[in-house]
Amino acid sequence: MSSTRMLVLGLLDEGPRHGYEINQLVTTGALEQWTDVKPGSVYHALAKLEAEGLAETHAEERTGDRLRRVYAITPEGRRTLRDLLRKALSAPPHSTKSDFALALRWHALLDSGEARELVAESARALEGLRAGITVGREAKAGLSPLADALFDNAEAHLAADTKLLEDIQRLLDR
C-alpha cells in the first residue's frame, strides 16, 4: 500500500481532492502500468489515511444525490509523505525479483513445447507494453525532462526483456 499512500498523500499535498478525482487521475494517467496503484485502491487508502490522522475531511460537496468528501493532507500526513519519498528515492528503481526467473528453473516439468509457447505469450504481452509506453510518451510529450528519463528507462527495460525472451526462445529450441 505504500505506493497508493504516496500517490494519495502527494496529490492531497497539491490541494484538497475527493476520491473520484484521485481515481480519475489514476485511470487517465494509466498509473497501474507504472506503479502498484490500482484505481479501486484509492477509496480504501483515503479511509485508512483519515483513520490514521494523515488526511482529514476538508469539505463535503453534494453532486446530485451523492455527497462527496473532499480530503486534505494533515501535517502528520506531510511528514509521512516525506518519509515515503525518502524511502522510494533511496531504493533502486526496478527490482530484479521475478517469478518468471523462478519458473524457468522448472520449465521442463511442462509438456513439450508448452514452455516455448508460454514464453512466446510473454513476448506478445511485452510488445503490448511497449506499445503502451509509446502511447504514454506521446500523450505526455513535453511534460518534463524527468518524465522523459522515466520513459527512456522503461523502454530500455522492455528492450532488455525482449532480448531476454528471444535468448530464452533460442535456448528452448535446442
Give the pLDDT confidence of 52-92 residue by residue, as tens digits.
999 999 888 787 888 889 999 999 999 999 999 999 888 77
Q: Which pLDDT value is given to residue 31?
A: 77
Burial of 170 per CB tally in 10 Å (0-12, 13-18, 19+) = exposed
Q: Which amino acid is at 61?
A: E
What confidence category does residue 28 fall into, taking pLDDT thresholds of 50, 70 and 90? confident
Q: What is the mean pLDDT of residues 17-29?
A: 88
Local structure of residue 74 (DSSP, 8 states)? -
What confidence category does residue 150 fall into, taking pLDDT thresholds of 50, 70 and 90? confident
Q: Is the pLDDT of residue 102 over 70?
A: yes
For residue 27, what are the contacts with CB-CB under 8 A and spacing of at least 6? 39
Q: Which pLDDT value is given to residue 92?
A: 75
- Residue 29, classed as helix, strand or coil, is coil
- Residue 54, classed as helix, strand or coil, is coil
Q: Which pLDDT value is given to residue 1?
A: 53
pTM value is: 0.71
What confidence category does residue 9 fall into, taking pLDDT thresholds of 50, 70 and 90? very high
Q: Which long-range contacts (CB under 8 A, 24 or more apart) does 117-121 make?
A: 119/165, 119/168, 119/169, 119/172, 120/169
Share of the chain above pLDDT 90, in %: 46
Q: Are 76 and 94 in contact (CB under 8 A)?
A: no
Q: Which amino acid is at 13?
A: D
Share of the chain above pLDDT 70, in %: 99
Could you tell me which of 148, 170, 152 has the C-alpha nearest to residue 160? 152
Phi-psi region of 156 (alpha: psi -120 to 50; beta: other; left: phi over 0): alpha
Helix (H) or strand (E) holding 130: helix 114-139
Residue keyed to cell 535468448: 167
Q: What is the mean pLDDT of residues 8-37?
A: 87
Could you tell me which of 9, 160, 14, 24 has the C-alpha nearest to residue 88? 9
